[in-house]
Amino acid sequence: MNSKAKTVDEYLAAVKPDQRTALAKLRRTIRAAAPKAEESISYGIPAFRLNGRSLVFFGAWANHCAFYPGSSATLKKFQDDLKDFQTSKGTLRFSPDKPLPTAVERISYRIPYYAYKGRLAYFALWKSHIGLYLPTPIIEEHERELAAYDTTSATVRLPLDKKLPVALIRKLVRTRMKKNEEERNSSGR
């Protein structure tokens, strides 16, 4: 592996073809989850950053590929889905010939920039649903559209046995982005 790569494309070009395929798929998943994140090379491996903050990393090694969601707590939440994979503090190891679990896509949607404190939304996987956590005003504003889902003041439960309502999630996140922008403009930042 060429650890002197300056871009993610250069990094992927230098890895074994089977690793390149697996990591390119992971890269697309991360891009879908965080389209405004910037790609970079950090610590010699591909990284995604947003507003100067690290989100996730991935890499190719001699005998495996790795996904680094940036939090051991994240991997603990998905431990049932990841039981057939080797994990350690903040690392998921996988081989290119063994597909990543569906949970990895869900982990990507739980990356740190989707948390609160001026950020967009927060996702977490549970046994029967995905929890989408948003500030109460966003849920209240879309109460009618969310009527088909179990909700609380700051949570929308998306059942795992139903298709993920991507268009609705985008709409909720866009509303949150708009409110963030309004808050930023009104505070003069």
Are the C-beta atoms of 122 and 109 separated by less than 8 Å? no
**Mean pLDDT, residues 3-19:** 91
Question: Of 51-55, 97-101, 155-159, 185-189, where does the model show the most confidence?
Answer: 155-159
Does domain 115-186 fall under CATH 3.90.1150.200? My reply is: yes
Percent of the chain whose predicted confidence (pLDDT) is above 90: 21
Dist CA 165 CA 167 (whole Å): 6
Chain-wide mean pLDDT for the chain?
Answer: 79
pTM: predicted TM-score of the whole model, two decimal places? 0.57
The Cα 26–Cα 14 span in angstroms is 17
Q: Same fold for the domain at 8-100 and the one at 115-186? A: yes
pLDDT score, position 99: 67
As a whole number of angstroms, the distance between CA 46 and CA 57 comes to: 6
pLDDT category, 101, cuts 50, 70, 90? Answer: low
Number of Cβ within a 10 Å radius of residue 36: 11
Q: Indicate the pLDDT class of residue 9, thresholds 50, 70 and 90.
A: very high
Domain ranges (residues) in the chain: 8-100, 115-186
- CATH fold, domain 8-100, is Aspartate Aminotransferase, domain 1 (3.90.1150)
Please compute the mean of the pLDDT values over residues 63-86 and round it to a whole number.
Answer: 78
